Amino acid sequence: MTSLNNLAVYSDYFVAALLIGGALFMLVGSWGLAKLPDFYTRLHAPTKASTLGMGATLLGSLVWFSVQEESLHIHELVISIFLFLTAPVSAYMMGKAAIHRRRPMAEGTRNAEEAERAAERKGINDRDD
Residues near other proteins, by CB under 8 A: 12, 15-16, 19-20, 22-24, 26-27, 29-31, 33-34, 39, 42-43, 46-47, 50-51, 53-54, 57-58, 60-61, 64-65, 68, 73, 75-76, 78-79, 82-83, 86-87, 89-90, 93-94, 96-98, 100-101, 103, 125-127, 129
Q: How far is the CB of 52 from other proteins (least distance, A)?
A: 11
CB atoms within 10 A of CB 76: 20
- Nearest CA to 50 out of 78, 70, 79, 74 is that of 79
Q: How far is the CB of 117 from other proteins (least distance, A)?
A: 17
**Would you say 56 and 19 are in contact if contact means Cβ atoms under 8 Å apart?**
yes
Measured from the CB atom, is 27 or 112 closer to other proteins? 27
